Amino acid sequence: MPSVEYYGGFFMEKQDYDEIEQLIGYEFDNRLLLQQAFTRKSYTNETHDGDNNEVLEFIGDKVLDLIVVKALSEYHGEVNNRDEFACDLNEGKLTELKKRLVESKMLAYRIDELGFARHLIMGKGDKKNNAQDDMHVKEDLFEAILGAVAIDSDWDMTAMQDAVEFMLDLDYYLENGFDGGDNYVALVQQWCQKENGELPQYSFQDTDEYKVNRMLRPYTIMGQRDTIENEESEGAITCKIYIDDGNPFVGFGYSKSEARMAAAEKAYQYLDEEGMLFTMADEIGEPTLENAISQLQELAQKGYYSLPVYDFEEKHDRQGNPYWRCECSVKEYQYSYWTEKGTKKEAKRKAAYDMLMSILNADGDDNDWDDGEDDE
C-alpha cells in the first residue's frame, strides 16, 4: 500500500510530494503549505476545511516578477569598470522578454510540462467544468507554488530563485530564446517516465566537494557504465542525475538549473549514442486513421515538431453536393498533404493520417502499416 500523508481530510501520496519537490528544486519543511498551493477556493468553500491558494498566488506573482527581473539583469547586464550598470538590452526589450516569461500562456505551458494540474484539489463545480484544463487556473497554481516556497523558506532568495529556475526552466529560455534548441531536462524526464514510470533522480553539491569526493571515492558501480561527466567543469554547483540503477551523469553550472541542464545533456547524449531513445512510433503505438488527428497532435505536444496546421475549403461537385478539401502541414516538413472527403471531419482525419505516415517514414520507422484507405 502506498505511503500517504493525511492533511485536513485530504489524502496525498507521499510519492506525489516527493515528485513535486524534485521538479521544483525545493524540499518543504511544512508540506501543508505545498498542499495549500494546490487547493482551489472552490474546495474550501464547499468543505470549510483549511485555506486555499489565493493569497499564496498573490505572493508568488511578486516572487516570480522579482526573480525573472533579477535573472534578466544578471544575464544581460553587469557593473562596468566605471561602476555603472550596463545592459546589452534596452528597457523595452527587457520588458518584452519579461512579459513573455511570466505571461499566462507560458506559466500554463510549464504546469503542463511538469504535470502538476492533475494534483489540484477542487470543489465539485471545478471538477464538473474541468477547471484543471483552464489556462488561468494553471497560472494561479504556478504562482501559488512559488508563494508556498517563499513562506516555507522564510523568503530565502536562493530557495525562491531555485524554484523559479526549475519550474520555469529559466536558464534554458535565457540561453536559447523561445524557439531554441533541445531542452535536455524535459527530454530525459520524458524518457525516464516512459522507460521506468518515474522521474530521474537529481542530487546537488558544491563542485569543490564533489571533486574531492570523486578522487577519494569514485562514483562507480562495478559492471556498470562509468560515471559520465560534462567536459566543461566550470561552475560552483554540481548536479548528478540518475536515470537508472547505474552510475550518474554529472554536470556543472553556476546555478542548480544550469548544472541540471548540463547533466541532462550528457544523459541524453548517452541514450542517443546507445540507441536507447524512443522513436515517434514508440510514443504513439500503431498509427491509425481513426486516431490520426490526436496522434499527430500528441507528437507535437511532446516537442517533436510544431503543431499541425489545417486549411479547409468547402467545394461542390457538378450536382451541387458539398464536400470538403483539407490540407495538413507541419512547419518542419517540406511537404503538406491534402484530401477531399464528403465531410469536414473525414477530410481532416485523412489529411492528418497522410501527414503522420509521412513523418513516421521520415523518422526512419520501417513498420509495414496499412495505408488506412480500407478504414474509410
Instruction: Cite the active site residues.
Output: 61, 143
DSSP codes of every residue in 211-259: HHHHHHS----TTSPPPEE-S---SSEEEEEESSSS--EEEEESSHHHH
Would you kindly state where each structural domain of the chain is located, as residue ranges? 4-176, 184-273, 284-375
CATH topology of domain 4-176: Ribonuclease iii, N-terminal Endonuclease Domain; Chain A (1.10.1520)
Q: How many angstroms separate the first and last alpha carbons of the chain?
A: 47
Cβ atoms within 10 A of the Cβ of 4, count?
13
- Tens-binned pLDDT, residue by residue, of the chain (376 aa): 344 444 444 457 888 899 899 999 999 999 999 999 999 999 999 988 889 999 999 999 999 999 999 999 998 888 888 888 988 888 998 999 999 999 998 999 899 888 899 999 999 999 999 999 999 999 999 999 999 999 999 999 999 999 999 999 888 888 777 765 677 888 888 888 888 888 888 888 888 887 777 665 555 555 556 666 766 667 788 889 999 888 889 988 888 888 888 898 899 999 988 888 888 888 888 899 999 999 999 888 777 888 889 999 999 999 999 999 999 999 888 889 999 999 999 999 999 999 999 999 876 655 555 554 444 4
For cell 484543471, the residue is 132
Q: Does domain 184-273 have CATH number 3.10.129.10?
A: no
Whether the Cβ atoms of residue 303 and residue 330 lie closer than 8 Å to each other? no
Residue 294 falls in which region: left (phi positive, over 0), alpha (psi -120 to 50) or beta: alpha
- pTM (2 decimals)? 0.64
Q: How far is CA 293 from the centre of its chain?
A: 22
Q: Do domains 184-273 and 284-375 have the same CATH topology?
A: yes
The CATH architecture one would assign to domain 284-375 is: 2-Layer Sandwich (3.30)
Quick one: DSSP state of residue 303? T
Distances (CA, A) of 370 to 277, 287, 328, 375: 25, 9, 20, 9
Whether the Cβ atoms of residue 29 and residue 143 lie closer than 8 Å to each other? no
